[in-house]
Amino acid sequence: MSNFSLKLFENAYQLEPKAEQRLTGAIYAAISINLILLLYLAYSNGFLVGLLIFMSNLFFAAYFCKFLWYQYRPQYRLHFTLTTGGVRYRTVSAQKEQEFEWEEVDVVRFEQDRLLFVLKNDEQHEIGMDKIQSPTILQQARRKIKKIAKKKDIMVVV
């Protein structure tokens, strides 16, 4: 079998381009409003109203910072990567990346919207396949996993 690397969740956790553009525009508008309200707070006596609006708009600024963090640090994005050597994945942002080799896998179980790897030491790795947006990539991944499992004598449960 030739070497391959199939990154399943590539851009699966991102919005469509138009929605992302609208969201980015809304974030820029919220940051502009924050700056205007900051000036308003500095030069007026309506401190309480301005402070409440300012604090509520900080949510958008925090989201924008998170957006920028993932743009400039792609190694922290969620992913599921299959290689000939093994599997690497991160399905939750705050978790560290999980990794195991095919030789450690005892059973691969396909369920409706998730994939379960049971290792020989009874450790289980569950990956939600509902995040994959393209049915073609999903079928390609299932075929690749089954092909690798057959070659490595790993039991596959469908």
pLDDT of residue 82: 78
Q: What is the pTM of this model?
A: 0.59
Check which CATH number belongs to the domain holding 133 and give it.
2.30.29.30
pLDDT along the chain (158 residues), means of 10: 50 55 78 78 73 75 76 70 80 76 90 87 85 76 86 88
Q: Are residues 95 and 71 in the same domain?
A: no
Q: Containing domain of residue 67, as a range?
A: 17-75
Domain end, chosen from 58, 75, 92, is at 75
Tokens of 42: 């500095």
What is the side-by-side strand order in the sheet with 98-101?
5-7, 79-83, 86-90, 98-101
In this structure, are 129 and 143 located in the same domain? yes
Please compute, for residue 140, the number of CA atoms within 13 A of its CA located in the half-sphere on the CB side. Answer: 14
Choose one of 53, 75, 97: the last residue of a domain. 75
Helix (H, G, I), strand (E, B) or coil at 9: coil
Q: Give how many domains the chain has, as a whole number.
A: 2
State which amino acid sits at residue 126: E
Comparing C-alpha atoms, which of 116, 93, 101, 78 is closest to residue 148? Answer: 101
Query: Do residues 69 and 81 both lie within one domain?
Result: no
Same domain, 71 and 89: no
Q: Are residues 53 and 85 in the same domain?
A: no
Choose one of 26, 52, 75: the last residue of a domain. Answer: 75
Q: How far is CA 85 from the centre of its chain?
A: 22
